[in-house]
């Protein structure tokens, strides 16, 4: 959840256009779908949990790049763009499923979308969010829920909270499930926080946040997301732990950054949170494209002859012999 504002994502997922191969068609008319990885993708070294855990900027590492994705095309694009980690975030609730907060998504929802991401066989490490109530009841329940995400194709899970959650983190790590922590503005705590608000602004809260980060590291987290905290605080936390911190709305002095797919690409542009930089305007581009399509259909400009199938000349001729009433 990326939550300094309310989102009710309106994106519509459309399945890739299915094309019918008609009998007798020229097979070259159909673009073959290839699942062969590009040579560049094939030659890249796998991104592993230990590889991520070692990426501290203070030790000379290049900052980690994480982006959310929720489906196979998104995962393929993130992979081709060369990001290090894909997060199947519970922001799914807000940017894809149209809810106002992240509390509405279930383990089933996350499993469904993690599997879609994993089917793209992306090069980045896939981290899946444990949704609210999936890791609060007991270690057994937490392990079972996390195992479903791992079996769906995630290489690690993420959960929100610090000292309160170390028992669950330890249980997961004991079961060989790598865990990414998430502290600061934790959107699953929206009601407890009284809204999506920047956290750790007082000396006491800052001390507690540093304690939370150390507790997560001690419990075995391989990295920690820091959301919605002042830059100076993020720098302090980053200095206090040996695992990498990945920031969102946490300034530059962290070991990596994460942005929500729909924010980065400008698919969701009704709100402009301060921490988002939009690298494209895909919402407007999509609206313009669909409006152009609608206009072409209405004027008859689409489809043209090149977008239509045709009978072989001899068959067309035979048909013509019978006239249009045949
Ligand atoms: O669910 C999510 O997208 C997240 C990131 C914004 C860190 O938790």
% the chain with pLDDT above 90: 82
Q: Which residue has the higher pLDDT, 157 or 271?
A: 157
Q: What is the pLDDT of residue 12?
A: 26
DSSP state for residue 136 in the 8-state scheme: S
pTM for the whole structure = 0.86
% the chain with pLDDT above 70: 86
Q: What is the pLDDT of residue 325?
A: 53
CA of 271 to the centre of ligand 1 (A): 16
- Is the pLDDT at 273 greater than 60? The verdict is yes
Compute the residue count for the chain. Answer: 326
Question: Roughly what angle, to the nearest 10 degrees, separates helices 166-174 and 139-151?
Answer: 50
Supply the residue whose CA is at minimum distance from atom 8 of ligand 1.
1
Which residues are annotated as catalytic?
A: 227
Whole-number mean pLDDT of the chain?
A: 89
* Both tokens assigned to 182: 């998430």
- The answer to whether residues 52 and 65 touch, using CB atoms and an 8 Å cutoff, is no
Q: What is the pLDDT of residues 189-206, one digit of tens each?
A: 999 999 999 999 999 999
Using DSSP, state whether 273 is helix, strand or coil: coil
**To test ligand 1's pocket by mutation, which of 5, 74, 88, 90 has the most ligand atoms within 8 angstroms of CB?**
90
């Amino acid at each position: 959840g990326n939550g300094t504002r309310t989102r009710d994502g309106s994106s519509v997922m459309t399945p890739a256009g299915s094309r019918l191969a008609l009998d007798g068609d020229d097979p070259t008319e159909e673009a073959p779908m290839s699942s062969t990885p590009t040579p560049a993708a094939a030659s890249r070294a796998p991104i592993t949990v230990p590889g991520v855990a070692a990426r501290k900027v203070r030790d000379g590492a290049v900052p980690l790049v994480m982006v959310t994705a929720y489906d196979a095309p998104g995962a393929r694009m993130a992979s081709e763009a060369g990001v290090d980690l894909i997060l199947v975030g519970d922001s799914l609730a807000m940017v894809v499923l149209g809810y106002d907060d992240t509390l509405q998504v279930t383990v089933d929802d996350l499993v469904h979308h993690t599997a879609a991401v994993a089917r793209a066989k992306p090069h980045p490490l896939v981290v899946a969010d444990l949704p609210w109530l999936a890791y609060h009841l007991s270690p057994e329940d937490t392990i079972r829920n996390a195992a479903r995400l791992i079996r769906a194709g995630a290489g690690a899970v993420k959960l929100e909270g610090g000292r309160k959650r170390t028992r669950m983190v330890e249980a997961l790590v004991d079961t060989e499930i790598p865990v990414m922590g998430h502290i600061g503005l934790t959107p699953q705590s929206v009601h407890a926080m009284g809204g999506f608000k920047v956290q750790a602004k007082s000396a006491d809260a800052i001390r507690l946040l540093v304690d939370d980060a150390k507790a997560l590291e001690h419990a075995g987290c391989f990295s920690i997301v820091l959301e919605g905290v002042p830059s100076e605080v993020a720098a302090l936390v980053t200095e206090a732990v040996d695992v990498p911190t990945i920031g969102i709305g946490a300034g530059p002095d962290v070991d990596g950054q994460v942005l929500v797919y729909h924010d980065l690409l400008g698919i969701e542009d009704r709100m402009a949170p301060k921490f988002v930089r939009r690298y494209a305007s895909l919402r407007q581009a999509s609206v313009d494209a669909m409006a152009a399509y609608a206009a072409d259909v209405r004027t008859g400009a689409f489809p043209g002859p090149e977008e239509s199938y045709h009978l072989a000349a001899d068959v067309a001729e035979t048909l013509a012999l019978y006239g249009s009433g045949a």
